[in-house]
Amino acid sequence: MLLPRNGAEFKKWIVGSSKDVAGGYVPPGSPGTQGWIVIDTASSIGPGRTLLDNRAWLEHDIRHEFFHANTLPESDSAGNAPLWVTEGYAEWAGSTAIVVFPQTAPPPTLPVTNSEFAKVRATDAYAQSFMFVSYLVARFGQAAAIRFYKRSLEPAYGSTAASFAHVFKHDLASVEKGWSRQYKKQVAALDVDVYVK
Ligand SMILES: [Zn+2]
């Protein structure tokens, strides 16, 4: 894991890999070579404050990136899985210490396709995916949620929607509707002050 001294060093070390809001995972370049994690320690978390000024937030980001590193296939591709799956699960795993949530509640919709994911504010896309994955864990149990995650990474199982229906016995659209209904309650329960102070 690399902790760069400044933003320029972060850019250099992320080597063209896709970056998260405050970090990134660089997968192995070829089989047998090691991948690494870079945390964007200089990224701003408020006026005059960087990620290094908030230990819980820093630990959240480290957990998020380790989850990618430990679960994604040995290539920059997430196999079959769309971003809401790979980022939502990484946020869920990272959130033992802290929930990183935008100051303005994002709309109660899931960015199902990667183009939808890219269209909304980055912090919203991560939060929406996190909320939905947390809902899956609460409704179907952690074992089933993990089963779906692993299956969705593997192209041999077909589309994400097919894996979803296979594991959860409900289609994605109907489960998303159920989540949307609970969304307001979930947002109200989050203590956003934990990280905006
Ligand atoms: Zn990520």
83-127 confidence digits (pLDDT tens): 999 999 999 999 876 777 777 888 889 999 999 999 998 889 999
Q: DSSP string spanning 135-181?
A: HHHHHH-HHHHHHHHHHHH-GGG--HHHHHHHHHSS-HHHHHHHHHH
How much is the pTM?
A: 0.78
The count of residues in the chain is: 197
Ligand 1 centre to CA of 131 (Å) is: 15
How far is residue 131's CA from residue 164's CA, in Å, rounded to a whole number? 17
- Any idea where the domains of the chain sit in the sequence? 1-77, 78-197
List pLDDT tens digits, range 156-182: 999 999 999 999 999 999 999 999 998
Centre of ligand 1 to C-alpha 91, Å, is 7
Distance 116 CA to ligand 1 centre (A): 16
From the CA of 83, how far away is ligand 1's center (Å)? 9
